[in-house]
Structure 1
Amino acid sequence: MKKLIAILGSTGSIGTQALQVIEEHPDKYEAYVLTANNRVEELIAQARKFKPEAVVIANEAKYQQLKDALADLPVKVYAGEEALCQIVQEKPIDIVLTAMVGYAGLRPTINAIRARKAIALANKETLVVAGELINQLARVNRTPILPVDSEHSAIFQCLAGEAGNAIEKVILTASGGPFRTFSHEQLKTVTKEQALRHPNWDMGAKITIDSASMMNKGFEVIEAKWLFGVRPDQIEVVVHPQSVIHSMVQFEDGAVKAQLGMPDMRLPIQYAFSYPDRLHASFPRLDFTKCTELTFEQPDTTRFRNLALAYEALHRGGNIPCIVNAANEVCVAAFLHDRISFLGMSDVIEKTMERVAFIQQPTYEDYVATDTEARCVAKSLINK
């Protein structure tokens, strides 16, 4: 039986690579639902190629264009946020790949969990914002959450066959981004063009900026707590510029297991789809005759304060990670429009954390209100 897959964010970097995985294994997987936010032309092309059961465009203004372009195909066409949240509950769907960017991925993921769909999680903001709520829902509905981030997939792979063996710590590797060797003075003047040139990975604009500021790694630290049930003091970050070791697990006897591979997101996507099995893949292989140097450094949380702010959010808990995420999304958008400096983003995030009311045990409604308030605060700080 083929697994029927809904891809939320099919036109983005993760979504397009997931379609490559599906294309390589047409006997095992089928794209059942494809969704996009604004990229209607790309969604039309994907729909014509993969012929899914349904497509959804979040931007309702693009609905007619999408509907007209697919009029000759038996593909259902929907638009809007509500349609996005409903489509994930379709009975035939086996796996929902959450590859949407940002906070927008939270509600559809919650609905998919309630509909007992396996979640291939590529939207890190879902666990950053509402990790406790998501874990509780997944437990109640017996829904597996399979990590797609390369780092969390690496830890997940290292833990295979280790049930019952105590983890001493998980070690998340970070490339260090394009500014790893920059001084504080140099960071004051970096541009979005520089920040968008990641040395190892090909990703969307938002995650690339987060990687450059190390907020991406901070979010992964928060995610690791919820995915693997570890304490904040059991989560370590090490800078590994070559991006060959994707992450590691240290056990209580001192043994360390690492997952290595080329920096290619198709591998963790395919593993999430095929788990617990491994399938043949045509992806490039790691060549140890060319990979002659693996180096490691401690992250500098003075130059890259976002990582320190994420750890603070993790320790404080409650709605603080939600505040950090909302402020960060506002800051990244402003940076991409040249309205804030690279280092200014950390200042705004920190001040937003101070000004938005703390809630120790937030409900879903609290998360929604916190997100709205934090965005307003961050925007007002940027516009000063």
Structure 2
Amino acid sequence: MLDECGVQLMDKVIRLGGHSAPRTMVPKAASGGGIVVPIHNWLKKNGVQFRNRSQVIDLLMQDGKVTGVLINCDYNWKDGTSKKEQRIGSRGGVVVATGGWGQDKDFIKTTMPVYSLLECTSQPGATAEMLKALLKSGCLPSMLDMYQLGPWASPDEKGAGPGSFFADYAFAEGMAVNPKTGRRFMNELADRRTRADAELNVLSESTPDKINYPVVFCGEKTTEHAEGFQAAYRDKTVFRYETLADLAKAYDIPLKALQQQVNEYNKIVAGTQKDPFAKPLDVKQPLKAPFYAMRLTPKLHYCMDGIAVNPRSEVLSTTTLAPIPGLYAAGEVTGGVHGMDRLGGCSSVDCMVFGLEAGRNAAAYLKAQGN
């Protein structure tokens, strides 16, 4: 499907956090847009209509079946105004693919209050209106207190910028340290929940006059093939240090402890010392000057929660626990698909696999209605 739509992928496979092996492919554009834009263009070319500035506010139902949606036309998300309401009917059902609501602080406060204080990597429109409409229509909720934090995020860029891409390479070929101790504190390629919790522990050592941000750094060899490096370096999320002493001074890290940690890490890379954190080393890159470093802080990244679906992407009813006729969902708006946490890259697979299921089964539903 991706080939047919013109999606171009890099000719390499990498390991993202939590995976047991390298299995992730990256678009040449190194962003989600590298997948979404070609698909969007293919759909337009093949007659699919897109209605921008249309806010869905409710599902239309008749005799327990979903028959369409109610929308606000010409909706302005900045001030919440619109020109009129419009009912749009559907003979083949409705597929909901509205994503997550990580920017909806009021909703998150009701289920995971402490996370509402975190910055979110999603775009500003990632709010919970559609989720609330689904819940109001009797859709079964799943894990509404579960959210994923991105451990590769930085306080020195907004959301998840190019530094977040670079951090994955720095994690794989470098190391993360606690500035107070100069020591590693986690497996840099563990799952996102494990790493985010470890970073929060480091941040808990902050004082009223100084936040103890974890630091990840790598050598120059890594920057030669790391996506996001050039932009992150340009935007001053990533900094270069000619010596380890320079790096230690910049982040107020005890130099002697840091030097000992680098020596130990290089022995791990050389295979002469066992890694206490058991990080997999697909690329055995020793750490040597010059160094490139960035500060870390977990940010709310993904809604593990949502509405419940079955393997056919059919949305389940709260009262009957059976599929609601004519209603399908795919992607982040669904809950429980990944469990309590999600491995890097798997949201794209989720969207495409369950998107295909939703489309095929909605088409079958249309045919079954005699249309």
Relative to the length of structure 1, the TM-score reads 0.24
**Higher percent of residues as helix:** 1
Structure whose alpha-carbon radius of gyration is higher: 2
Q: TM-score when scaled to structure 2?
A: 0.25
